[in-house]
Amino acid sequence: MNGLLEFWRRRMAASSFLAVIGAFSGVQALQRLGFLGFALFGFALTSTSEQGDHETVNFPPDQNQPSH
């Protein structure tokens, strides 16, 4: 019975260690690709929002400006 418990302890420790290693390598990969992915995502977001702004949002000029 103790042997089985020890086996499960070692197995859980190994799997948690591998999970930590995998998470750390995943974070490193995200950090390497993060800037490129963020730039592409931001570019797509701004291009679609610019198209939408020109169609839907029309602000009157000097709406909040006090008249001189």
Provide the 8-state DSSP code for 61.
Answer: T
Q: What are the boundaries of each domain within the chain?
A: 25-54
**pLDDT classification of 59: cutoffs 50, 70, 90:** low
The one-letter code for the residue type at 5 is L
Phi, psi of 60 (to 5 degrees): -65, 145
pTM of the model: 0.33
**Per residue in 2-36, pLDDT tens?**
788 888 888 888 888 888 888 888 777 777 777 77
Strand extents, DSSP E, the chain: none
